[in-house]
Every structure is written in C-alpha cells, then in structure tokens.
Structure 1
C-alpha cells in the first residue's frame, strides 16, 4: 500500500517500508526472520529486482525489526545503516533489553537472528541527514529501546517512527510501557517527534497514520507534556 508518493507500506510481523527514490531503493526495517521473500515480491511488484535495493535503514535491533536483515543483505548487497548500539547488537544477532524479565530471557536464549558483521554496517548519528526523500533527518529516540532511532522527511511530511509511536484502535499512542526500557525517555522522544507535526506517521506496529489531524497530535503532545 502506498502511504505517500513513492513510499510503500508492507505489513509483516512488524511494519516495513519501501522508499522508491531514484537512484535509491530504500527499506526501513526488515521484520522477523524469513520475511525476505515477501519483501522481494513487493519489490518486483514495484518493478524492481532484489539487487536494486540500495539501502536498509534500521530503527532498532529488535528481532521483529532486523530478523530478515542478514538474508536481505546477502541477496541484495544493500548498504545497511543503523545507530552504533544497534550495529553492535546486530553483529551478535541479539535484541536489546526492554522486555519483562522472563520474556527477555526467552528472547536472549532462544530467539537470536542472523548476524551481520559490524564492519558491514554504516553508523549514523542523531542530527545527520540522509540523501533520501529530499533529506531524511536522523533522530535519536530512545525509550522503547535505548538504541532506537526514527527518521523524518520534512519534504514528504513522513515520519518513520519505528516503535517510538504506534497506533492502536485508530489512535496514535506511545508504545506500551510494559515493553519500554525507559519510560521517561520514551515520553521525551515522542514529544520530540510530535513537535514535527508529521502528515504521515509510519509506525512499526499498527496501521500507519495518514489521516490524523493536528488536533489529535496536539492532544497527545499536551498529555505527554503534563505527565
């Protein structure tokens, strides 16, 4: 589904997004393991081959966001871009710490994903601008996980929020506190993102928000400011 011009939503275990911005073909996040065929099928539907994928941007190193990264990289050779902490975790096939203790132990023990060598990952920093969508801003948004980043295109008005914001029951929300590493940081990160007044919020979970109003954004913004 096209959520904005040349930006396509693909619903897997978590949301992934394809940006067609010639000469670049960019994927934001990769879903759980074994999603690569679904992603490559979508690429072909958009008249592109797997090897046309030029970049893979990572919001954070949770298994449901990087599980298919190694398989996608091995086929496409795309440049992987992630924050420094995410890159370190990806090189070990490990998810960040943010779940309840028992669940986190299960993930750490039984749910590793295919690793990618750290030297194959290009590291971005807060405040950088990537050459996509007229300039894609890199925003450090820790909270849900401490390695979390989001991306915003002022030109397109599109925010790739990862798990800093989700949608539930048709409403924009913070990701649930029970799976958040630092609740105070999560609130500040969400405030930072809402201040951008994005026209489209491409969330990691739930349907992307394409028809919210400025009043709805301000309502959540004010609620978070008062907490």
Structure 2
C-alpha cells in the first residue's frame, strides 16, 4: 500500500487571506490562480513553513508544527518563481550522490553539473530548480509559476515530465499558474483567489 501523502490546510490565515481550508490528495494537482498581489505566493510560503501563519497544515498524519522546519521543507518542497543559487557550480546545489533523473528529458546532460551558474539562462535555471527539488525526494510539491520563463514547446515538455513524476512519486501538488490552457491540461481541480476568498473554478 502506498503511503498517504495527503496535504491538508485547515483554516490557514496569512496576510489578507483568511481561513483557507483545502485538501490535496496524493498525486493530485491543484492549480491556483488570481491577480497579482492576491496572496498566492504567501500561501505557498505558509504551507512550506517559511512564513508565520494561523491555522494548521498536515502532510498525511504529520502536522507542520510537530517536526523541525528544515525537515518539513524537505518533505513539502517549495519551488519559488525565482530560484535561489548560492554557489558557483550547478552541481553544488544538488544533494550529494543523488541520482538526478530527468536531465535528458529537460534538455540537459550530466555535464551541466559542472557548469557555472552564471552561464545559465532564466529558463535553464527554472528547469534545473525543478530537477534540484525532485532530487531531494520530497513528498509534496508547491510550485510557483514553474514554467513562467519557458517557451511553449519547453513548457509542454516540462508539464509532461512533471506530470509523470507526480504520479510516480504519489505527490500532492499546489501549482500556481495563470495560463488557462496550462490549467486545463494539468489541474485535477482549480481555484481562484478573489480578494480574501478561494473560489473553485
């Protein structure tokens, strides 16, 4: 029997967002959209335990407050819209001895690990940030516009690869997206942040 990785938000409150309750099943993709400044990114940061918030968050039967923040963030992995790079070499940002699957699918070979971060385009950084996140073997994913800097063809390549990984790894996913076509392709359910309210679409 596969482990339960259900991600559950109970009355989460952060900023102007109040009492957001949402359950994302294992391998389910919930897309979240809304106008700029509506709180989408802050909600993801709350779920990732990167900002103080009201309410409770669970992964399976584990509550966010029950484990150390760094361990929670390893299990519930946030991929922000602007990825962070703290070392000169690409490979230094990946777990030691981790098997990095998906390199060829996303247009890279093993040599990319020796590249300097300074040579990467914004789109390459975005794809490598996704590979880095999955190399850490998370149990849930929080994706903040992960294809925003990609051309349409590469976007669909990333969607196919991520969709396969999500199903294989049985991960619940909250995916912030604005493109209606992408939401139709990906979402099991979709919600729109309208003021302080989360509306089903």
TM, length-normalised to structure 1: 0.32
